Amino acid sequence: MGRHTRVAIAARPGRQTGGFDPYGTGPYASPFFRSAEGARLTVAFNIDRFREERVYRCTGPIRELREDLERLRLLDMDVEQSRRKWRNSAWVCLAATVAVFIYRMTLDEGLEDALAWRLTLWPGLVLLAGTVGCFVVYLRFRRLDLENRRYTLASQVIHRLRRDIGPDASVRLELDFTPVDSPEKLLGKHTTPSGWEAENFSDPWFSLQTRLLDGTHLRIAMVQRLMKRSRTRRSASGKYKTKHRQDSWALLQVQLRVKAARHQDLALLEPEARQAMRLPGDVAVDKLQLGEDRMFLRTLVEKDWDAGPNVQGDAVDAPKTVVMMLLSLYQVLNYSRQLRQQAKAS
């Protein structure tokens, strides 16, 4: 693996704001330990801890990350197969339980029917307990089920950027598979003017940081937003009815940090940068900032998104959107470099 060795851990994060930490100095900076020879030691990816906490963090070369993402995919496939197995077993036990109790209801008060009544009592109870047990195990596996598009997005982004990153470059990847409406992701509650009780959630579940071959520091992130609304009203008949609604959207973020000496007056090129944006039709620029040595682009994805590799229907192709955002920013960098060369020539 060269001078970069893998650091992969699963740990529960604290309250996250979704803000950038491009230098990796925040509370979630990956721990490195050095041996006497100066080599970096690894912390192995703990699959049991991940099953419990459902948060993945890894710092290492692309090959190591892709291996771990493949392990996550296989783990998710096993969970989905187990869910189907226990769900089918639960329905079989339930059907058998119903059949037994229906049969018992057809029995009369004769001697033979009394014997059948006694003989079917315990099998019916055992089948009922089996039904409950199968459903309990099914619900447990349901909690362990991962959202496929999350690890697929990470895998697709790494695959598409692999030639720009290099095989030995250190890549820091964070994936949070906990539900978007987890209590720690709650931003706040409020009442809308129309009387809806609303809860706002922010889920900064994806983050990738690395240095590209040209020396540029790259940070990619995705934040899933959710608003859950409910309203209870009394109908004309005097009954109370509660309606529930929810709106979901996503924010994709790309940040570049470059050498200011190579890109003079970069902060003055924001109008040109807005004209250089080339994004999918269902994706809009939400925020664009240019500084002396960095560029920040955030886009709004209001429609449902998918990670492919073959995106179906009207869903937004998230990996393609990330690449187009990055290419748009690089057009601005190339333009600033041309301006610098023209200034030198004159």
Q: Could you report the per-residue pLDDT of 96-123, keeping only the tens digit for each? A: 888 888 877 777 666 666 777 777 777 8
Give me the pLDDT at residue 14, please. 37
Give me the pLDDT at residue 142, please. 74
Mention every residue, 6+ apart, whose C-beta is less than 8 A from residue 260. Answer: 266, 292, 293
Category of 313 on φ-ψ map: left (φ > 0), alpha (ψ -120 to 50) or beta: left
pLDDT band, residue 203 (cuts 50/70/90): very high
Percent of the chain with pLDDT over 90: 37
Backbone angles phi, psi at 168, to 5 degrees: -105, 0
**Pairwise CA distance, residues 309 & 321, whole Å:** 13
What are 229-283's pLDDT values in tens digits?
Answer: 998 888 778 888 889 999 999 999 999 999 888 887 888 888 888 988 999 989 9
pLDDT band, residue 183 (cuts 50/70/90): very high
| H or E stretch at 62 | helix 62-105
77: helix, strand or coil: helix
Are the CB atoms for 55 and 13 separated by under 8 Å?
Answer: yes
Least reliable range by pLDDT among 99-103, 180-184, 188-192: 99-103
Residue with token string 């959207």: 249
Read off the DSSP letter of residue 293.
S
**Pairwise CA distance, residues 252 & 325, whole Å:** 9
Mean pLDDT of 213-234: 93
Q: Is pLDDT above 70 for 79? A: yes
Mean pLDDT of 283-294: 92
Mean pLDDT of 186-215: 93
pLDDT band, residue 337 (cuts 50/70/90): confident
Q: Report the chain's mean pLDDT, rounded to a whole number.
A: 81
User: pTM for this one?
Assistant: 0.75
Give me the pLDDT at residue 154, please. 95
Mention every residue, 6+ apart, whose C-beta is less than 8 A from residue 12. Answer: 53, 55
Give me the pLDDT at residue 45, please. 64
